[in-house]
A and B are shown apart, each in its own frame.
Chain A
Amino acid sequence: MSKMITMRDPRDAFSQALLELGEENPDVIVFTADIATSTKTSLFAEKYPERFFDFGIAEQNMISTAAGAASCGKIPFVATLAVFACERVCNQITISVAYPRLNVKIVGTHGGVSVGKDGATHQSISDISIMRSIPNVMVIAPCDWVETRKSVKAAADYVGPVYVRLGREPVPVIFDDSYRFEIGEAVTLRDGHDVTIIANGLMVHEALKAHEKLLKEDIRARIIDLHTVKPIDERAIEEAARQTGAIVSAEEHTILGGVGGAVAEVVVEKYPVPMMRVGLRDTFGESGEPFELLRKFGLVDADIIEAARRIIKLKKR
């Protein structure tokens, strides 16, 4: 079954969601750090200029300022590149936002190597690991335009710190508007009993491509979209381990402590089965075209297929 693939930039979905939120809730305010165009917060800025604040290239100040505003009832959406929204401001997020559990929504765009030619300094490879290790922070990495829009709206409804990771490239639309997004509820996109592939972000589409190709080898892979890394859907993971006996995780992120780590923690404690992690193998990114980089760093369907084949061999029948 091949349907026409529509490519849409998830940042546009974020922008759209912000406009909707701006209309629905006067307490939603938006902060950025000299990056309104790339984060697509500029549309909100045009429509609601009094609720938009640029803090210039001073992210630490921006994060703690959002905390202060949240303590007075505002719902700040703070958007910049993931490297600056996370790695650069770890202590501010931890102490100003997470420790007092303030209602700040941090949106890190340009996650992963598909950022492309700007290279390693602008490609976040550790944000998921870092953010999920901070108590009280919810971590979401939506996979397409629809999921992005819905998860940003859901983040606004939830009371507490949230980190949303977006890519930069247009990605295939997977869901339609009938999709019911629930924080913390993983989505089984394809069923199967030979192996489970758990992915998020743009790796979900790669996983779906892998699913198609694996069918030709008579391997039926369950595909799970793990949009919420924290709180993680333990039930779905345990069920997948129990019912398929082998797991492959896939993320545009280091294999150390992100989706792979999070899933492995559940599998080892709840229902140990063989598992392999597809992702960046503890290396920085570099400059290149997005698709070249994904291929170079082992982040395409072929890598998921290879991992699936190998892990199935390790299964106890």
Chain B
Amino acid sequence: MRTQMVDEETVIKLERKAKTIRRHVIEMLCRSKSGHPGGSLSAVEILTVLYFYKMNIDPQKPDWPDRDRLVLSKGHAAPALYAVLAERGYFPVNELTSHRQINSRLQGHPALNYTPGVDMSTGSLGQGLSAANGMAIAGRLDGKPYRVYVVIGDGESQSGQIWEAAMAAAHYKLDNLTAILDYNKLQIDGPVEKVMGIEPIFEKWKSFNWNVLEVDGHDIRALMEAVDEALRFKGAPTIIIADTIKGRGVSFMERAVEYHAKPLSDEECRRALKELN
């Protein structure tokens, strides 16, 4: 269990790393002309904090049995995950250009067996929390200390299977599991609350017997403190509701519904990369 204090130097380093990750995300999407900008950008700080601060992992040993695991249940944020994995050393950064190309190790949605560092195939929303539960169960059966992280989406939270998994995680007291909700409040057809409202979301998770934390999902320090605090809760899983902005980091994409899966034009790419410089 990590008990280090969150120090300012680390925060600044991670903020810089997050910006680099964002650059990679935009470059990847501009190259492949396909993918999900909005939901990838909103997840950047979450993934940066997990992979560069919190998770007990070894990029040289992606199959290390005792590693912490991450399930990107909102699998369409794959570009953010790939950028993080590359920067963390699981594969070369220049391989990011192969994203979504034929014969690539970087499939459109995370694919187990294709990409070093990917712990589960996702992309068909609603299944990742269940998979994470399974990993947590296995870890406990084996008496292993690894922790399982899972990032879910708000649109995804409309899916019944998420709530089946939520029920099961609490029932089996999976306190080696931390979920993070990338709560950017937008989905393909519009604002989540307009399409199929999920509020009151904090109360829902609480009523499902989870420990619930709320943070600004772009505040590195707050995220670091939240993932640390999650470890303290025993007897129940924890969810961190991260208040995020879809398209974060690129001014014209922020809070814009249309950037869920919009291929970026050359002009949009140029403008975005300029802002992220």
Contacts and interface: CB of A to CB of B under 8 A. Distances in A.
A68 B141 contact: no
A100 B164 contact: no
User: Which size bracket describes the interface of A in this complex?
Assistant: 20 to 34
A21 interface: no
B123 interface: yes
A197 interface: no
A65 interface: yes
Contacts of A264: none
B101 interface: no
A70 B131 CA distance: 9
B184 interface: no
Interface centre among B71, B113, B130, B172 (most CB of A within 10 A): B130
Interface stretch (A90-98, A123-131, A276-284): A90-98
Nearest to B136: A68
A294 interface: no
B121 A68 contact: no
Contacts of A96: 120-121, 127, 130-131
Nearest to A98: B121
Interface in B105-121: 111-113, 119-121
Contacts of B130: 60-65, 67-68, 92, 96
Interface string B121-134: 11110111011111
B89 interface: no
A100 B160 contact: no
A199 B135 CA distance: 39
Contact of B160 (A60, A63, A101): A60
A29 interface: yes
A71 B128 CA distance: 13
A46 interface: no
B112 A91 contact: no
B167 interface: yes
B137 interface: yes
A168 to B, nearest CB: 26
A293 B65 CA distance: 50
B138 A68 contact: yes
B149 to A, nearest CB: 12
B195 interface: no
A61 B138 contact: no
Given A64-B130, A68-B120, A100-B111, A73 B135 contact: no
Contacts of A95: 121-124, 127
B172 A53 contact: yes
Contacts of A58: 161, 164, 167-168
Nearest to A61: B164
Contacts of B167: 56, 58, 61
A146 to B, nearest CB: 31
A69 to B, nearest CB: 4
A72 B160 contact: no
A99 B121 contact: yes
Nearest to B160: A60
A70 B111 contact: no
B134 A68 contact: yes
Given A60-B160, A96-B121, A96-B130, A65 B168 contact: yes
Contacts of A50: 141
Contacts of B124: 91, 94-95
Contacts of B164: 55, 58, 60-61
Given A65-B165, A91-B124, A100-B111, A71 B131 contact: yes
User: 10 shortest A-B CB distances, which residue pairs?
Assistant: A68-B134, A64-B130, A61-B164, A72-B138, A68-B131, A69-B134, A100-B112, A58-B164, A65-B134, A100-B121
Interface of A: 29, 50-51, 53, 55-56, 58, 60-74, 76, 91-92, 94-96, 99-102
21 contacts: A29-B137, A58-B161, A58-B168, A60-B160, A61-B130, A61-B167, A65-B134, A65-B137, A67-B120, A67-B130, A68-B134, A69-B135, A69-B137, A69-B138, A72-B138, A72-B139, A74-B134, A95-B121, A95-B123, A100-B112, A102-B112
Interface of B: 65, 69, 71, 111-113, 119-124, 126-128, 130-139, 141-142, 160-161, 164-165, 167-168, 172
Given A61-B164, A68-B136, A95-B121, 12 more contacts: A58-B161, A60-B126, A64-B127, A68-B130, A71-B119, A71-B120, A71-B135, A72-B65, A74-B141, A92-B130, A96-B120, A96-B127
